[in-house]
Amino acid sequence: MSQYPALRLRRTRTTGWSRNLHRENRLGVEDLIWPMFVTSGEGEEPIASLPHVSRWGIKGIVAQAREAVTLGIPAIALFPNTPADRRSADGREALNPDNLACTTIRAIKDAVGDDLGVLADVALDPYTSHGQDGLVDDAGYVMNDATVEVLAEQALTLARAGADIVAPSDMMDGRVGAIRGALEIEGLVNVQIMSYAAKYASAFYGPFRDAVGSRGLLKGDKRGYQMDPGNAEEALREVALDLAEGADSVMVKPGLPYLDIVSAVRAQFGVPVFAYQVSGEYAMIEAAVAAGAGERDALVLETLLAFKRAGCSGILTYHAAHAARLLGG
């Protein structure tokens, strides 16, 4: 039996103050993580497939880190574009304590200290000459256990440089446990692990590969270790394993096409879950704006709020600085 007219759901939507009072989910600057790309060059290198996003030299990244602090953004995520002459089949540059990522982390920490968290990506694709996230055998297969050994050492190298969060994005089995064990032995007990627990073999990563210089290098694809987009229950198994191995938080990647996974992870585990609004998602918004099909401010805030509604503790987004300004950061 209808409760109308006693109950009119439009009643609380009539005025702005009432809509604010009844809002169930809120987006704040504190929910944002800003991904940044560092290059060995000086100055700015615009990324054609990511409008308004650039690679920066270390000085430029430090300036952006200071901007993040000013805006109230709590953390940045750092990704290096390793020079071609530093890439190799075994990705050994990942273990160099003076590599581009480590040098940049130290510079950021010298500039802003603990006013800004630094998330460092743990994977070999920025360092390998073949573009895969791990070590490859003669048949082209990405070897799991041998890669995990290198990833644990890479995570240690980044943590020693000052990374607050190490984020394994490789999708090798067992890597979270190996990294947690290595950090404990080293005494780096407060370094967080944000695991890319459900990272899908997605079509939305193209501009990112341009940004880190791996698109033209990649031999084959990554479907042998990244998740099948058709699978949801498997994502919950991946999350359960990573939590059992010592992850402090988990990530779903990409973001908007996988909000059902974010929601399911939050409902089942009740742990901090993050999502990465990846390069292809960002590029689609910017393409819509350029075509006159949408208004940037509204598109940015609506999509980011969708992550919060699905259960995200925070979002990695290239729109972080723009969103922070809109939110009053």
**Residue 97 to residue 166: CA distance in whole angstroms:** 15
Residue 288: CB atoms within 10 Å: 14
Between vectors from CA 245 to CA 239 and to CA 250, what angle results, nearest 5°? 35
Instruction: State yes or no: pLDDT of 213 exceeds 90.
Output: no
**Which structural domain range is residue 170 located in?**
26-326
Q: What angle do CA 324, 35, 106 make, to 5 degrees?
A: 110
Structure token digits, residue 168: 């394994």
- Give the C-alpha separation, 69 to 55, whole Å: 19
Asked if residue 172 belongs to a domain, the reply is: yes
Say what the pLDDT of residue 263 is: 98
Pair 238, 197: CB distance under 8 Å = yes
Whether 122 maps to a domain, the answer reads: yes
Q: What is the Cα–Cα distance from 133 to 94, expressed in whole angstroms?
A: 11
303/168 Cα distance (integer angstroms)? 25
Q: What percent of the chain lies above the pLDDT cut of 90? A: 92
Average pLDDT over residues 298-313: 98
Which whole number is the average pLDDT over 154-162? 98
Nearest-10 Cα torsion for 19, 20, 25, 28:
150
Q: What is the pTM of this model?
A: 0.96
Domain count for the chain:
1
Helix (H, G, I), strand (E, B) or coil at 186: helix
Q: Which residue among 199, 219, 222, 308 is the active-site one?
A: 199
**Rounded Cα–Cα distance for residues 178 and 173 (Å):** 10
Over range 214-223, report the average pLDDT. 84
- Is residue 238 part of an annotated ligand binding site? yes
> Is the pLDDT confidence value at 212 over 90?
no
Query: What pLDDT was estimated at residue 329?
Result: 52
Residue 59 appears among annotated catalytic residues: no
CA Rg value for the chain: 20
Per annotation, catalytic residue among 109, 219, 222, 253: 253
Per-residue tokens: 282: 């960002």
Q: Is 60 a domain residue?
A: yes
Contact 65, 76 (CB under 8 A): yes
Q: What is the pLDDT of residues 1-21, one digit of tens each?
A: 678 989 999 999 999 999 999
**Could you report the per-residue pLDDT of 93-127, keeping only the tens digit for each?**
999 999 999 999 999 999 999 999 999 999 999 99
pLDDT at 220 over 90: no
Other C-beta atoms lying within 10 Å of the C-beta of residue 2: 6
Domain membership of residue 21 (yes or no) is no
Active site residue 253: yes
Closest Cα to residue 26, out of 280, 312, 224?
A: 312
Residue 12 lies in a domain: no
Q: Is residue 138 part of a domain?
A: yes
Alpha-carbon distances, residue 71 vs 30, 67, 321 (angstroms): 10, 6, 7
55 in Cβ contact with 81 (< 8 Å): yes
Arithmetic mean of pLDDT over the chain? 96
Stated length of the chain? 329
Strands (E), 187-228: 192-199
Please tell me the distance from the alpha carbon of residue 316 to that of residue 327, in angstroms, as a whole number: 16
Distance CA 163, CA 77 (A): 10
292 inside domain: yes
CATH number assigned to the domain comprising residue 162: 3.20.20.70
Q: Helix, strand or coil for residue 53?
A: coil
